Chains A and B, each alone.
Chain A
Amino acid sequence: MRYLFKTRYEQDLRIARQPSDLFWYGLLLAVMVVFPIVAGEFYVGEVAGVLIFAVAGVGLMLLTGYTGLVSLGHAAFLGIGAYTNAVLLAQGVPFAITLPTSFVVTALAGIAIGVPTLRMSGLYLAIATLAFGSIIGNVFSKWNSVTGGFDGFPVQTPTILGFRIQGANGIYYTSLVVLIFVLWLAANILRSPLGRAMVAIRDSEISAQSMGIHLAKYKTIAFALSAGITGLAGALFAHYVRHLAPDAFDILLSIQFVTIVFIGGLGSIHGAIFGAIFVRLLPQAIAIVRDDLPFGIGRMPGLEPSLFGLFLVLFILFEPGGLYGRWLKLKQYFRSFPMYKGSTFKRQKAYAKSERLR
C-alpha cells in the first residue's frame, strides 16, 4: 500500500492528486497527440468518434451521475448543437464563434427543458425528456427552411486561425482540444461549491435544501451546463458526419449516451471516458464477429440496440460502479496483492432506511 501524505489543504484542490497522476496524464496526452501521425486514417476517425462521445458523456454525467437527474433526450441537445454550428457556418460566421454559440444555444435549450421539469425525477423526468427529444427531432425534420428537413444539411469545412479543419486529423485534434477543455470545466465544477451542491441534490434533496441549497437554481444550472457541453459535442459531431440528417438524433442515440454514463460508472468523470470507449467500440466488435455468429444471429435486425440494452441491464445489476469501478477494484487488487479481500468493497449494511419526505 502507498499512502499519500498531505501537508496542505491546497493539495486536495489539485486536479492531479498525486505526482504520479501528473505523469500518467501527461503520457496519455503525449500518446493522444502523436496517435494520428502513426495510425491510419480509419483509426484516427474512430478515435475522434470516441472523443466526441466522451464530450457528450461528460455532459450527461454531470446531470445524471452527479445531480441524479436522468435524461433520455440528450440526442436532441447533440442535434441542437450540431444544427446551430452548421447553420451559422453556412451563414459565413467563423468557427471560433459558432462553436461557443453552439454551447450557449444548447444551454438555453437545456434551461427550457430543465425549468418545467424541476419537480420531476426518476421515471417522470425520463419520460418528459424523452418527449422533449422527440419534439426536437420533429423540429429538425420539419423546419425545412433552416435545417433542410430530410434532405439533410451539408456541413461546411471550418477554418480556425487560417487552418482548414478537415479530414480525420482535423476533427481528431479539434475534438481532443474540446474534450480537454470540457474535462477541465468538469473538474472545476466538481471541486467548487457548485459541484458539491449537485452531489447534495443527488443524494438527498431534503437535506440539500436544509443546508441552504436552492434546488430549482442548481437543477437549472446543471441542466444548462449538461446541455451546453453536449451541444459542444454536437458541433464537433456535425463535422464528424459532414452531412446532418434529422433521424441521426433519435432515441437510440440518447440511449447510447445513457449507456455511456451507466456502464462507465455513475458519478465519475473517468467513467464517462470509459463509457464512450465502450459505446463506440461495441458496434465495431459486433461488425467483426457478425458473420461468425451461429443461427444467423448476426443478421438479426436490432442486434446492436438489444446488446446495448443487455449490457446496460447487466451492469446495473452486477457492477453498479461501472467500468471505472471495476478498474479501481483491479488497481486495488494489485496494490494490496496478495492481501486482497473480496469484502473490501462490500458496503456496510445501512441500519436505518432514511425517511423520504417526498
Chain B
Amino acid sequence: MSYFEAKSIAVRFGGIRAVDDVSFDVNKGEVFCIIGPNGAGKTTIFNLISRIYNVTDGKLVFDGQDFTKMPAHRIAGLGIARTFQNIELFANASVLQNLLIGRHTHAQANLLAQLCFLPSTRRAEIGHREKVEDVIDFLELQRYRDTLIANLPYGVRKIVELGRALCTEPKILLLDEPSSGLNAEETEVMGFWIEDIQKDLGITVIMVEHDMSLVTAVANRVMALNYGKVLAMGTPAEVQRDPEVIRAYLGGDP
C-alpha cells in the first residue's frame, strides 16, 4: 500500500466540477508534482487534502489512516503541512513568532500552566525555540528573525512560509507554487531547498508548480491536470511529451 493515496476524489462547487475523479498515490520520500493550466483544480486538491473543503466523493488515506472526514486543525498533527499559493503568513507578527506558531501541534500544554507560565511551560518554550532555530539555520533566515512579516520582501516571505511548515515537523509537505513571484535565481535556490528537504530531512513533497525548469529539476513523478481531470502521469519527461498535455497547454479542444 502506498504512503499517501487519493482515491477518485471529487468536489463540485455549484455546477463546476473543480476536481473530478482524481486518483494518485505518492511514495514515501518522493517529490510528486502537480501541473496544469490555470483553473485546472490544483490548489483545490491541496484544499481537499488540508480538509478546508469536503470531498463530494472519494477517499484520502495517509500512512494507512483514512482522513477524509478529519477536521482541518488535526491535519497538521497527522504530519501534513502546507504553504499557500498567495502566502498566508501572520503578517503582524515577527518571523520568529510565525515559526513558533508552526510548533503549535507540539505545544499542547495545560492551559493553567500557560496562564501562570510555570517552569514546565518555560522549558517547553525553550525546546520549541531550539527547534525553530534549527529551521532558521537550515533556511538561512537569521537576519530576519525579529522582522515583522509585513516589512519583508516577497521572496523572503516565501521562505518563511516554507520554514513555518517545516516547524510542524511534517512527514508530507504540500507546496503550492513555491516559485511564483520569484525571479530565476530565487527559483533555483528554492529548487535546492526542496531537494534538501527531500534528501536531508526525508520529507515527502507534493508540489504544485508552473515553472517547468523547477519541475524537471526536482520532481520524481508528475501528474498533469486539466478541468479537474487527470491528463497524464509519469516522469517529468514523459508527461512533457504527452500529446494531451501539449494540447492542454497550447489550447484547442479539451
Chain A residues with Cβ below 8 Å from B101 are: 196-197, 199-200, 208, 211, 213
Interface residues in A143-160 (C-beta closer than 8 Å to B) = none
Beta-carbon contact of B86 and A203 below 8 Å: no
Pick from A9-17, A120-128, A334-342 the stretch touching chain B: A9-17
Per-residue CB contact flags for chain A residues 222-252 toward chain B (1 = under 8 Å, else 0) read: 0000000000000000000000000000000
Q: Does A189 contact B (CB under 8 A)?
A: yes
With A13-B125, A353-B86 known as contacts, the answer to whether A188 contacts B111 (CB < 8 A) is no
Q: Does B179 contact A (CB under 8 A)?
A: no
Minimum CB–CB distance for A185 against chain B, Å: 6
Q: Does A209 contact B (CB under 8 A)?
A: yes
Beta-carbon contact of B84 and A355 below 8 Å: yes
With A13-B126, A193-B107, A267-B92 known as contacts, the answer to whether A210 contacts B154 (CB < 8 A) is no
- Bound state CA distance, A341 and B131, in angstroms? 37
Chain A residues with Cβ below 8 Å from B125 are: 13, 191-192
Per-residue CB contact flags for chain B residues 68-103 toward chain A (1 = under 8 Å, else 0) read: 000111111100011011111111110011001111
Partner of B181 from the list A9, A209, A351, A353 (CB cut-off 8 Å) is: A351
Chain B residues with Cβ below 8 Å from A200 are: 90, 93, 101, 104
Q: Does B231 contact A (CB under 8 A)?
A: no
Minimum CB–CB distance for B102 against chain A, Å: 6
From DSSP, what is the main secondary structure of chain A's interface residues?
A: helix
Nearest residue in A to B126 (C-beta to C-beta)? A9
Q: Does B14 contact A (CB under 8 A)?
A: no
Chain A residues with Cβ below 8 Å from B152 are: 348
Q: Does B27 contact A (CB under 8 A)?
A: no
Chain B residues with Cβ below 8 Å from A197 are: 101, 104
Chain A residues with Cβ below 8 Å from B122 are: 10, 13
Per-residue CB contact flags for chain A residues 260-286 toward chain B (1 = under 8 Å, else 0) read: 000000010000000000000000000
Partner of A357 from the list B52, B129, B130, B153 (CB cut-off 8 Å) is: B52
Q: Does A350 contact B (CB under 8 A)?
A: yes
Beta-carbon contact of A12 and B50 below 8 Å: no
Beta-carbon contact of A355 and B86 below 8 Å: yes
Minimum CB–CB distance for B192 against chain A, Å: 23
With A13-B126, A199-B97 known as contacts, the answer to whether A210 contacts B92 (CB < 8 A) is no
- Bound state CA distance, A197 and B103, in angstroms? 10
Q: Does A331 contact B (CB under 8 A)?
A: no
Pick from B54-62, B113-121, B211-219, B236-244 the stretch touching chain A: B113-121
Q: Does A212 contact B (CB under 8 A)?
A: yes
Q: Does B139 contact A (CB under 8 A)?
A: no
Can you give 8 A-B contacts (C-beta < 8 A)?
A10-B126, A12-B96, A188-B115, A192-B117, A199-B97, A207-B88, A210-B81, A211-B168
Interface residues, chain A, CB within 8 Å of chain B?
Answer: 9-10, 12-13, 185, 187-189, 191-194, 196-197, 199-200, 202-204, 206-215, 221, 267, 347-348, 350-355, 357
Extra pairs beyond A200-B104, A203-B89, A209-B52 (12, CB < 8 Å):
A10-B126, A12-B129, A193-B114, A196-B101, A199-B97, A210-B76, A213-B101, A214-B73, A215-B73, A348-B151, A354-B88, A357-B47
